[in-house]
C-alpha cells in the first residue's frame, strides 16, 4: 500500500466552519485511519466507531456535522444504521461501500443507491481518493444546508 501525501490545495479546510465534526462508522480500521489522516489536515475532528450500535450511541451522545457509514459491517448493517440516524436527525449522511453487489442473485441491486433511498444524503464508493472524500463531505453539507442560509 502506498503512503498518502497531501499537497497544495488539498490541505485547505473542506468547510468554511472553524472545525467540522465527522462521525465515521466503519469496521475497517484501515479505512477509518485513512479518513482521519485526510480530514485532520482540513480542520475536521473525526470520531470513529467500529460498529453500528456504538456509532448510533456516539451520535446520540454528541453533535456531528456529517456522519459517514459503511454499509457492510458485522451486526447491524449500514442500511439500518442510516435509517436509525435519519429517523432522529437531518444530519448529512454519506454511505460508503466497496461493494456494488453483495449477497444477491439480482445483478441490479445497488446497495449505495439503496442507502440513498433509506436516508443517506450521498454515497461514496470505496476506494476513494482524498479529493473525492473532501468533495463528498462538501457536497453533503451543501445539500443539507437550507438554500440562502448565510449564517455561520
pLDDT confidence tier of residue 150, bands split at 50, 70 and 90:
very low
17-63 pLDDT, tens digit per residue, is: 678 999 999 999 999 999 999 999 988 999 999 999 999 999 999 99
DSSP 8-class letter at 146? P
Q: Are strands 66-70 and 93-97 parallel, antiparallel or unpaired?
A: parallel
Q: What is the pTM of this model?
A: 0.82
The verdict on residue 150 lying in a domain is no
CATH at residue 108? 3.40.50.2300
Going by C-alpha positions, the residue among 144, 33, 123 that lies closest to residue 69 is 123
Residue 1 lies in a domain: no
144: its cell numbers: 443539507
pLDDT at 2 over 50: no
Domain extent for 116: 19-140
pLDDT at 152 over 70: no
Number of domains in the chain: 1
Residue 7 lies in a domain: no
6 found inside a domain: no
| Residue 151 belongs to some domain of the structure | no
Amino acid at each position: 500500500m502506498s503512503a498518502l501525501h497531501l499537497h497544495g490545495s488539498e490541505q485547505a479546510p473542506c468547510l468554511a466552519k472553524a472545525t467540522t465534526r465527522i462521525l465515521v462508522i466503519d469496521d475497517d480500521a484501515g479505512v477509518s485511519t485513512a479518513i482521519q489522516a485526510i480530514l485532520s489536515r482540513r480542520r475536521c475532528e473525526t470520531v470513529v466507531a467500529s460498529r453500528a450500535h456504538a456509532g448510533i450511541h456516539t451520535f446520540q451522545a454528541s453533535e456531528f456535522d456529517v456522519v459517514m457509514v459503511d454499509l457492510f459491517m458485522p451486526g447491524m448493517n449500514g442500511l439500518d444504521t442510516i435509517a436509525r440516524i435519519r429517523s432522529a436527525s437531518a444530519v448529512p449522511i454519506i454511505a460508503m461501500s466497496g461493494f456494488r453487489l453483495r449477497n444477491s442473485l439480482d445483478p441490479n441491486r445497488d446497495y449505495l443507491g439503496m442507502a440513498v433511498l433509506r436516508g443517506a444524503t450521498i454515497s461514496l464508493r470505496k476506494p476513494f481518493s482524498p479529493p473525492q472524500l473532501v468533495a463528498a463531505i462538501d457536497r453533503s453539507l451543501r445539500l443539507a444546508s437550507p438554500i440562502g442560509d448565510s449564517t455561520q
